[in-house]
Amino acid sequence: MADVPNDAPEHCPGTSSDQAGKSSACQGCPNQNICASGAAKAPDPAIEEIRQKLTSVKHKILVLSGKGGVGKSTFSAHLSHALASDDSKEIALLDVDICGPSIPKIMGLEGEQVHQSGSGWSPVYVEDNLAVMSIGFLLSSPDDAVIWRGPKKNGMIKQFLRDVDWGEVDYLIVDTPPGTSDEHLSIVQYLSGAGIDGAVIITTPQEVSLQDVRKEIRFCKKVKIPVIGVIENMSGFVCPKCKNTSQIFPPTTGGAQRMCEELNLPLLGRVPLDPRIGRSCDEGRSFLTEVPDSPATMLCRLYWVQQCCNTQV
């Protein structure tokens, strides 16, 4: 995969491309001579630096989905909360959704700032054993728009992986944006030395979501990321009063279960819609403790921890 320098022109072919330093986009670029000579094709030294930095991180899990709005950040946040409920484990949550960082809001950390220490950036702690890093901590306001091209986003992800002082960590959960573009390629490239244990894929039941999720699964196969399994989110609405279930997003093509059967992947579970989950996220609280009677809470503890981590990693 081609690597693009931070100061590259808009249509840079990438330093590892055969057209590096030779395409029309390279004209006037300060890196043109280096790229044309082939010297820039050497592996990014940051990969080795990141490998060394993350030797203290035992497991690295990506949360992916080709579709936006399916609940990746909610899942990432509450998987982290569920894992951190074991006081003997150290958990870290990294938000690499550069343009839409929602983790600070969901974790109740809006307004917090990152501090620099002698060993790098210090993450923000929700609990003694749950650390969080997001670009949201670097913005002056939650309403600030991050209007960056790919190279600058790639550089930010590199900095998160190389410069954050995570310390000894059992699980690093990486929340990603939708799609299969810059952020995903960067996280895979920079963790290629440190290793990725696998990815959890999030979808909703309707076909319009499953189409994009299939693309994400193919992306994982192409870049050799093991797929731990699939979570079907918003899988029916459970009324908090009568407990009856209604299908808000009908699985017209069989939902995640049919897709998993076709692709030979584990279905880790179905998370029902519960308005109390949305309220907990808006208030920056864990619904695992706020709404312990929610069917989603029980599924979190049974599937998210046991199947995503204990039995798969």
- Is there a contact between 190 and 258 (Cβ–Cβ < 8 Å)? no
Strand 169-175 to 227-238 pairing: unpaired
The response to whether 26 counts as a known ligand-binding position is: yes
The crossing angle, in degrees rounded to 10, of helices 150-163 and 45-53 is 40
- Report CA-CA distances (Å) from 233 to 26, 101, 245, 312: 45, 20, 14, 20
The response to whether 179 counts as a known ligand-binding position is: no
The response to whether 241 counts as a known ligand-binding position is: no
The response to whether 260 counts as a known ligand-binding position is: no
Buried b (16+ CB within 10 A) or exposed e, 113-122: eeeeeeeebb
The response to whether 73 counts as a known ligand-binding position is: yes
Q: Which helix (H) or strand (E) holds 61?
A: strand 57-64
- Report CA-CA distances (Å) from 174 to 63, 99, 132, 279, 312: 6, 15, 10, 23, 17
The two three-digit tokens of residue 50, written as one number: 């990141």
- DSSP state at residue 232: E
The response to whether 300 counts as a known ligand-binding position is: no
Token pair 């009908």 in the structure block, residue: 250
The response to whether 67 counts as a known ligand-binding position is: yes
The response to whether 12 counts as a known ligand-binding position is: yes
The response to whether 22 counts as a known ligand-binding position is: no
Task: Extract the annotated binding site for [4Fe-4S] cluster.
Answer: 12, 26, 29, 35, 239, 242
Q: Annotated binding site for ATP, which residues?
A: 66-73
> What residues are designated binding site?
12, 26, 29, 35, 66-73, 239, 242
